[in-house]
Structure 1
Amino acid sequence: MKALLIEVWKRLTPWSKTADVYANDIDNAYPERMDRLINNSVTAKSAAAIMVQYLLGKGYGPEADATVVNKSKSLKLADFAADVADDLVKQRGVFIHINYNALYQVADFSVLPFEWCRIGKKDSNDYAGKVAVCKEWLRPKRSDIELIDVYNPRKKVIDAQVEKAGGWEHYKGQVLYINMDTKLIYPLSRIDSVAEDCDSEAQASVYKNRLLRKGFFGNTLVVTRPLVGDSLVPGTPAHQHAETERDAFQKAIKDSLGADNTGGVLCLEMDFAGEKLEDAVLIKQIESKIDDKLFEYTEASVRENILVAFNNLPSGLVKTNDSALFGNSGEAMREMKRTYWENTTRERNLLTAIINRLLGQSADHSSLTVEPQKLTDDADIDYTG
C-alpha cells in the first residue's frame, strides 16, 4: 500500500521561504505545466475553446461590447469576460486586478495571468492578505515580486491600505481571487485528472512525426551489385576511378527520383546471382511502420477522457471532421447543445456574477448588468481556440 501511495501523484502547495508564498506544486510551476499540456493536446485545446464559448454564450450585447473597463489597456468588457472565462475553464480560478479612485469606486479592472500569481502568508485567522505577482517563479528575485492587497472593497480597509502605501499615487489596488476549489489554496486545473491523457495525445503526434521525419518511411532502397571490385587496390588510380563512377551512378539514381521524393535514397551494394538486369538492380519503396489501428484506439480513449474532464463535453460538439459534426441529426445536435449548456451552468453563473459584481462597484458602469445570450446555432461556436 505504501509503494502504491508513493506512485500516486499529488499536487502540493508547500510554503516557499525564499519567496514568502505558498508554492503551486513542488516546482511552483503547476499552472504553466497545465496550460502547456492543454495547448499541446488538440482535444484539450478544442474542448477548452468550446467550453469558454459556452460560458460566454453569444456575448452580452452591443453595449457590453462597447464598454471599456480598463482605459490604459483599451480593454473592453467582452475581452475581459473572455479572459476570466479562459482561466475559469483551464485553471478553475482567476486573479483580477482592481484599481480604485479617491471615491472608493472601481476605476478599472483586468485579469492577471494565473501563472504569475501566488498567495502570501496567512495570519492566525487563516487569512492571506497579499497576493504576490511575479512573471517568473522558477528562481524569483525578491525585487521582482510585487505584493498587492487582497480584494476588500470596504472604505475603512482601502483607507488603511492607501495610507500604508503612502498615498493614492502609490497605491497598487487590490486583487480579487476566485478559487473554485474552496478547500484548497490553489484550484486544481480542469485537466488535473487527465494530465497524462493530454500528454499521451501530444506524444502520439510527436512519435508519428519522428517516424515520418527521421525514420525510413518514404525512403527508396536501391540494391546493386558491387560497383567497386574487391580486386582493386585502394588509393590506386583504378580504384579512385571506380569510386567516382559509383558516386556518379548513385547521384543519377537520386536525381531520377525527383526533387520531391518524400524521404531519401538508400544505396546498398551486395552480390546477386544471375545475369539478368532485374537480378543486378533492385528498387524497393520502404513502407510506413505506423500502426494506425493501435493509435486509433489509444487516441480515441484519451480523447474521451479529456472530453469528460471538460464537464462531459459531448464528442459531437467537437469539430474534428465532417462526420463528427454532420453525422448526427439536427435534433441530436440541438440536444447535445442543450445538455452542454446545462453542464456549464455553474461556471457560466460564476462568470456572470463576477462581471456584474465589478460593474456594480464601477465608477462609470454601475447601472450596467449583463447576461449571456444562449448559443442557438453551430455557427456560434468557434472551434479554433
Structure 2
Amino acid sequence: MKTLLIEVWKRLTPWSKSADVYANDVDNGYPERMDRLINNSVTAKSAASIMVQYLIGKGFGPDADSIVINKAKNIKLIDFADDVADDLVKQRGVFVHINYNALYQIADFSVLPFEWCRIGKKDSTDYAGKIAVCKEWLKPKRNEIELIDVYNPRKKVIDAQVEKASGWEHYKGQVLYINMDTKLIYPLSRIDSVAEDCDSEAQASVYKNRLLRKGFFGNTLVVTRPLIAEGLEPGSQPHQEAESEREAFQKAIKESLGAENTGGVLCLEMDFAGEKLEDAILIKQIESKIDDELFNYTETSVRENILVAFNNLPSGLIKTNDSSLFGNSGEAIREMKRTYWENTFKERALLTSVINRLLAKSQDYSSLKVEPIKLIDDAAFNNPE
C-alpha cells in the first residue's frame, strides 16, 4: 500500500549571495505578497484595521498622544504606535530605526517599512549584527542597500559603531527588530495559513465583476431568419436596401426591449423550419451564470477562516445584520469587544513594551510610561443601565 505525500508550500529563508542577506522566501518578496493579499481581501483588510485599533485602544491619553517623538519627520507617539501595531498585526514583526545623541540617549525613533528590511549575515554565535534596508528586494542593487547596526544601547557598543562610521555626523543609528516567531529568521504573516482564503475572496469578486462587465449576463438574444435574401450581390442597390432594412429592424428590436436597461441585445440570423411567426423569430433572455448559493457558501467559509487568523475576531465587530446583537442595551456587542480585547492581549502587551522600552532611554521622555486606554469601560459593561 503506497502513501501519497503531498508537499505543502513552505516559506523559505535562503541565503542570498547577491545581496548578502537572508531572503524572505525564495523570491525575497514574501512581505509584499502578504501585504497585497491583505489589501485585496475586504475581510482581511477590515480585520487588520480593527485589530490595530484594539492594540492601541483609545490611545495613551491626549497629553501622551500629542508628544512628538521624531521632530524631523513630525511623528507623534500615537502615530508611531499605530505604525508598530500595523506591522505586528500584518507581518507579526517590526523594524524600528533609532537615532542617538552624543549622550547615548535616544534622540528619535520611527518604524521602517517591514518589506524594506532583511537580516544580514550571522556570526559563529548565530548573531546577525546588521539590518539591510532597501526599497526593492526583488532585484536589489548593491549601491541601494543600506546596512544599519542592530539595536544595542550599551555605551561601548555605540562608541565602537560611531568610531567605525567616522563620527556622529555619519552614524546611521540602530534598528530594533521585533520578531514574534522567535524560532524563525523572519516571522510568518498573520494570514500565512489563510493566504489562499484571502486570494479566494479577492478572486471571487474579480470573477463576478468580469461576468457582469464582459459576460452575457443580462443580455437578450434575438434570433431571426436571414434578413438579406441569398443571391443578392454585395454592393448592389437591392443589397444596400436590404442591409438598411436589417439595421432598421435591429434598431427597432433593441428600442422595444429597452436595451438601455439591460446588458444589451444580441441579434442572430439563422434558417428556421416552418412558416409560423414563432418559427421565424426567437427571443430569449440569457440568465446569470453566477451561482449565488455557491458564492455565498464560499465567501462565508473563507471569511470565517480569515477572522480566526486575526485572533478569533468576532464577525459582529466587522459588520452584522443581526439586530439581536443590539438588544439588551448592546450587551452582546460589549461582550464581543471585551472578548476581543482579551484575545489581543499578547500583541498589545508587546506593543506597549516596545514603546516604553524606547521612551525609557529617550532624551526627553525617560520618565514617561504609557498604557493603552481600553476601548470599553468595565464599569459601563458591568452596569449597562
TM-score normalised over the length of structure 2 = 0.92
* 1:381 match: none
* 2:5 match: 4
Q: Is residue 325–residue 331 contact of structure 2 (8 Å, CA) maintained in 1?
A: no
Q: Does 1:101 align with 2:98?
A: no
Give the distance between the partners of 2:3 and 2:123, measured in 1 at CA. 34
Q: Is residue 316–residue 325 contact of structure 1 (8 Å, CA) maintained in 2?
A: no
Number of equivalenced pairs:
374
Query: How far does residue 346 in structure 1 lie from its aligned partner after superposition?
Result: 0.4
Q: Does 1:120 align with 2:107?
A: no
3-state DSSP of counterpart to 2:96 = strand
Cα separation, partners in 2 of 1:232 and 1:303, compared to 1, 3 Å: same
Cα separation, partners in 2 of 1:325 and 1:240, compared to 1, 3 Å: farther
1:117 partner letter? C
Q: Does 1:194 align with 2:200?
A: no
Q: Is residue 325–residue 332 contact of structure 2 (8 Å, CA) maintained in 1?
A: no
Give the distance between the partners of 2:353 and 2:147, measured in 1 at CA. 26
* 2:292 match: 292
Q: Does 1:81 align with 2:73?
A: no
Higher alpha-carbon deviation: 94-103 or 215-224: 215-224
* 1:165 match: 165
Report Cα offsets for 1:292-317 as digits up to 9, x if no partner: 10111111111111111111111221
Cα separation, partners in 2 of 1:2 and 1:369, compared to 1, 3 Å: farther
Query: How far does residue 280 in structure 1 lie from its aligned partner after superposition?
Result: 4.2
Identical pairs, percent: 81
Give the distance between the partners of 1:99 and 1:210, measured in 2 at CA. 50
1:4 partner letter? L
Give the distance between the partners of 2:335 and 2:189, measured in 1 at CA. 28
CA RMSD between the two structures: 1.9
Q: Is residue 318–residue 324 contact of structure 1 (8 Å, CA) maintained in 2?
A: no
Give the distance between the partners of 1:260 and 1:106, measured in 2 at CA. 66
Give the distance between the partners of 1:324 and 1:147, measured in 2 at CA. 55
Q: Is residue 326–residue 332 contact of structure 2 (8 Å, CA) maintained in 1?
A: no
* 1:33 match: 33
Q: Does 1:254 align with 2:254?
A: yes
Give the distance between the partners of 1:126 and 1:172, measured in 2 at CA. 23
Higher alpha-carbon deviation: 54-63 or 241-250: 241-250
Higher alpha-carbon deviation: 216-225 or 303-312: 216-225
Cα separation, partners in 2 of 1:328 and 1:42, compared to 1, 3 Å: farther
3-state DSSP of counterpart to 1:26 = coil
* 1:24 match: 24
* 2:322 match: 323
Give the distance between the partners of 1:256 and 1:15, measured in 2 at CA. 68
Q: Is residue 87–residue 94 contact of structure 1 (8 Å, CA) maintained in 2?
A: yes
Where does the alignment leave 5 or more consecutive residues of structure 1 unmatched? 378-385
Give the distance between the partners of 2:238 and 2:271, measured in 1 at CA. 21
* 1:223 match: 223
Q: Is residue 92–residue 188 contact of structure 1 (8 Å, CA) maintained in 2?
A: yes
Query: How far does residue 257 in structure 1 lie from its aligned partner after superposition?
Result: 5.0
Q: Is residue 106–residue 361 contact of structure 1 (8 Å, CA) maintained in 2?
A: yes
* 2:181 match: 181
Report Cα offsets for 1:194-247 as digits up to 9, x if no partner: 111111111111111111111100212222232111242334321232123222
TM-score normalised over the length of structure 1 = 0.92
* 2:153 match: 153
Higher alpha-carbon deviation: 327-336 or 46-55: 327-336
Q: Is residue 318–residue 325 contact of structure 1 (8 Å, CA) maintained in 2?
A: no
Give the distance between the partners of 1:290 and 1:183, measured in 2 at CA. 45
Q: Is residue 222–residue 267 contact of structure 1 (8 Å, CA) maintained in 2?
A: yes
Query: How far does residue 279 in structure 1 lie from its aligned partner after superposition?
Result: 5.3
2:370 partner letter? V
Give the distance between the partners of 2:63 and 2:3, measured in 1 at CA. 59
Q: Is residue 222–residue 267 contact of structure 2 (8 Å, CA) maintained in 1?
A: yes
Cα separation, partners in 2 of 1:325 and 1:232, compared to 1, 3 Å: farther
Give the distance between the partners of 2:159 and 2:323, measured in 1 at CA. 57
Give the distance between the partners of 2:115 and 2:239, measured in 1 at CA. 66
Higher alpha-carbon deviation: 21-30 or 362-371: 362-371
* 2:66 match: 66
Report Cα offsets for 1:142-198 as digits up to 9, x if no partner: 000000000001111111111101111111110000000000000000011111111
1:212 partner letter? L
Q: Is residue 56–residue 348 contact of structure 1 (8 Å, CA) maintained in 2?
A: yes
3-state DSSP of counterpart to 2:222 = strand
Cα separation, partners in 2 of 1:259 and 1:355, compared to 1, 3 Å: farther
Give the distance between the partners of 2:191 and 2:103, measured in 1 at CA. 42
Q: Is residue 317–residue 325 contact of structure 1 (8 Å, CA) maintained in 2?
A: no
Where does the alignment leave 5 or more consecutive residues of structure 2 unmatched? 378-385
* 1:351 match: 351
Cα separation, partners in 2 of 1:306 and 1:325, compared to 1, 3 Å: farther
Q: Is residue 37–residue 198 contact of structure 1 (8 Å, CA) maintained in 2?
A: yes
Give the distance between the partners of 1:274 and 1:145, measured in 2 at CA. 80
2:5 partner letter? L
1:66 partner letter? S
